[in-house]
Structure 1
Amino acid sequence: MRPGRRAVTLAMLGAAGVTLAACSSGPPPVTYVLGTPASDSSATVPLAGRPVVEVKPVLVPDYLDTSDIQLRRDGNVVAPSTTGRWAERLSAGVTRAMAAELTRRLPGLVVATTVPAERPARQVLAEIQSFEPRSNGVVVLVGRWRVLDGAARDTLAGESVSLTAPLAGQGDAEVVAAMTRLIEDLAGRIADGVRRTTPGSASRRG
């Protein structure tokens, strides 16, 4: 083997060894999703004739809209968790979890996250400005939401919110649980707005 080729081969083997050592340094991060798991009971619900509520994709700041679970440190420092990650981008997870909770709370309506074939009775717009676990042991959600008339696109209900949930521990699972509670709290407020402005919508709380 020529000296030059031998040196290249040794360098490649060395790089592979470093990569393997890095991969074997610890377990892979746990993957999490937002929201409460759906019930495992069997049920069939007819959808024909029910008003449609279209949930638009939730807007999330770019620095949060990744698959990293971002943790706010002191000052303006955010750092990704090294032991856990999201199964999807945060904006997609928030939209999915919010729609699932609205479905549970509004059984008389059809909640959709895609553009329906017919004009929806109501549209939900939500924007999150901050959604992070803090070093003081709480998760903070700051944002705003609106319920729009699907035809005229007039704002029928809405508010700005600043919500907090305590962390039961410092692990990723506790962070995800607290963030889920806040999304469900936000969805509950939106559901109340939909009920107030949609004739014939059934009420379900909890």
Structure 2
Amino acid sequence: MAGIAGCSGAPPLKQVLLAPPQASQVARQGANWQVARVKVPDYLDSYHIRYRASDFVIDELADAKWAQRLPAGVTALLQSAIDSSLKQNRHRPYTVHVDISTFAPQPSGKVVLSAHWRVTNRQSHETVAQNAAVINKPLAVKKRSPEAIGRTMSQAVRTLAQRIVSTAG
């Protein structure tokens, strides 16, 4: 009995999403642009919500996990954000490739997203545009809450989408 009583105090893990539910998003006709699966470092390719605790230490939240693996969540949100950002050239056969090198809350209280991206034409295989981006977004609160991290990382992905569209769109 003592073992069962000890386990009952642990709260359930929170499941964190990068995007709000589909019902709260504006329905738009999809563009012909396709986002290839976003590449991330191996330590970020998981359900764990990781953050940089210091210069040499990566830690993870004990009370929450991503609802889907981070690369899948980033890819889906980037596709949605690009679709909703495109005003013209929606029907060009483009593929967006993103390679993230850093994407985590930092000890400074900011989320940093560092990525190289490239847009290619699927028919001609030519590179249409490419660039690197370092996006810094302050956490709404200094405390590393699952909701604050999810919201701030979502804002960083949306900013990346806007930069890609403004350069290649």
Structure 2 counterpart of 1:58, from 34, 38, 45: 38
1:188 and 2:140 are equivalent in the alignment: no
1:159 and 2:143 are equivalent in the alignment: no
- RMSD over aligned CA atoms reads 2.3
Pair 1:74–1:150, CA change in 2 (3 A): same
Structure 2, unaligned stretches of length 5 or more? none
SS in 2 for 1:147: strand
In structure 2, distance between residues paired with 1:24 and 1:83: 15
- Alignment coverage as a number of residue pairs: 166
Q: 8 Å contact 1:147–1:193 — kept in the other structure?
A: no
Structure 2 counterpart of 1:102, from 78, 82, 88: 82
TM-score, length of structure 1 as denominator length: 0.73
Identity, % of aligned pairs? 30
Given residue 38 of structure 1, which amino acid in structure 2 is its aligned partner? Q
Would you tell me which structure has more strand in proportion to its own residues? 2
**Shift of the alpha carbon at 1:194?**
3.3
Partner of 1:138: 110
Partner of 2:16: 32
Structure 1, unaligned stretches of length 5 or more? 1-13, 111-119, 196-206
Task: Return the index of the structure with the highest Cα Rg.
Answer: 1
Partner of 1:179: 153
Q: 8 Å contact 2:28–2:83 — kept in the other structure?
A: no
Q: 8 Å contact 2:28–2:84 — kept in the other structure?
A: no
In structure 1, distance between residues paired with 2:21 and 2:117: 24
TM-score, length of structure 2 as denominator length: 0.87
